Amino acid sequence: MSLRKVLVLGILCLSAIVAMGQSSMGGLTSSLGSAMGSGSQGSSDKPLKAKPREPKDTICWHGQFVGLNLVPPAKAVFSPNWGIQIQYNCNLYNRFFPVVELGYARLRETRDLADWQAKQFSQTLTTMYRGSGFYGKIGLDVPIAKKGPNANNLFFVGVRYAGATFNYEILTTPFLATYWADAYVMNIVNQHSLAHWLELVAGLRVEITPSISLGWTFTYNHLLGRTNGDMSVASYVPGYGRDENWLPTLGAWFYWHLPW
Amino acid sequence: MPRIRLGGGKVWTLLFVVVTVVCLASCTATGNKNCTAKTDVFLKADFYSAEYSSSCSLTLGFVKGLGTDSVWMKPTSASTLSLPLQPNDSLTAFAMSFMMIDSTFVTDTVFFLHTNQPYVLSMECGGVVMHDLEAADCTKHCLDSVTIVEAHVDNVLTTNIKIWIP
């Protein structure tokens, strides 16, 4: 199953659950929590009453979180790739969650030559990509649904602007035979590149204990621009992923609620 | 041992579990890209009539790189040529024979002075050698002159030179 299909399936599941919550509890956003508490709003026996609008929160500071994305370090278990991504976000008026993220990623990938390339060489060759670099993101999340006095449980969407600076090398790169020369391989080293991109985020954060929360994020990345190396195009961008215009990624987050 | 309780109620718990399952399922979805870029790098030469200042077609006997034994192009009628430049040398020369009005063949040589730049298109496609033309000239038995239109020669086929016929 392709990643895109899985994402669509996931969105459909989420929609179904949210719709289920809406129909059985008579509202989604602010009414979700109170509806679960009373348990009577969704009853078909009683006439629906217009719920009073929740007054806007006048308290600015509702706390702050430091988050760690568990996916980049977990990659080290399954592959030679790994990274670290740390997030800081704070809760303003229970409606705005400014976000800053910093990260580092190391990428290693090997690829056997395709048949149309391999037939020009007498031995089996493997191209290797090695790169690493830092990235940063800044953005804002807003809640779609929330529960608790400090938006302890949260379903949110957000946007991020991100940038990365990184170095890479591509070893055993095949250069195929031409009219003038036989096929040969070359190591392309000391390549430097910059990239910036936009992220659309949908996520979920659930409080486990008063100081710890867990969450998931679906991110759709759109590459805005990138400088190429002197002799190559970077195959991967740290914090972004493969060199594609639109790319979905997943995050699994561990959040620590700072006590001040 | 304290009992950990999801603080958000059943809907939130269910939402978290479903999203977790979807995320784990999607971890198995991987893609494998193939090369979609063009990996040939050719200089494109168009024949132009100096008299009419318009594109023209010629009958070629052969096109052969100087210093090689193999023929690049066999007899054909063409208004455009795609020529490979030397990846490891800054001078490339092609001998071209043209059919004249009296059906005899006359050979001219076209020279290109260029720089070479190895470039990796992607992991999937590998590398190509791109070029930048610095000068172009020809002998004038049948041909009139050569002008550079676009000095950069890469894997996108655009007209790089015009070969003028008297």
pTM assigned to the model: 0.74
Phi-psi region of B58 (alpha: psi -120 to 50; beta: other; left: phi over 0): beta
B91 pLDDT exceeds 80? yes
Of B15, B25, B34, the CB nearest to A204: B15
> Which residues are paired to B77 by β-bridges?
B59
Task: Quickly state the pLDDT bin for B86 (edges 50, 70, 90).
Answer: very high
Of B7, B84, B86, the CB nearest to A152: B7
- Dump pLDDT digits (tens) for B92-108: 999 999 998 888 999 99
| 3-state SS class at B10 | helix
Mean predicted confidence (pLDDT) in B41-61: 91
Residue B66 contacts A where some CB pair is shorter than 8 Å: no
Q: How many other CB atoms are found less than 10 A from the CB of residue A229?
A: 21
| Structural domains present in chain A | 1-55 (no CATH), 57-258 (2.40.160.20)
ipTM above 0.90, yes or no: no
| Interface contact A114-B68, CB threshold 8 A | no
Structure tokens at A182: 């036989």
Residue B17 contacts A where some CB pair is shorter than 8 Å: no
B window 124-153, beta carbon within 8 A of A:
124, 126-129
Question: For chain B, what is the radius of gyration of the CA atoms?
Answer: 28
Task: Quickly state the pLDDT bin for B147 (edges 50, 70, 90).
Answer: very high
pLDDT in tens, chain A (260 residues): 454 555 545 554 554 444 444 333 333 334 334 433 343 444 445 556 666 666 677 788 888 999 999 999 999 998 889 999 999 999 999 899 999 999 999 999 999 988 888 888 888 899 999 999 999 999 999 999 888 888 889 899 999 999 999 999 999 999 999 999 999 999 999 999 999 999 999 999 999 999 999 999 999 999 999 999 999 988 899 999 887 888 889 999 999 999 87
Residue B53 contacts A where some CB pair is shorter than 8 Å: no
Smallest CA–CA distance, residue A112 to chain B, in Å, is: 9
Residue A217 phi, psi dihedral angles, 5° rounding: -135, 135
Contact A89, A98 (CB under 8 A): yes
- The residue whose two tokens read 């050979």 is B107
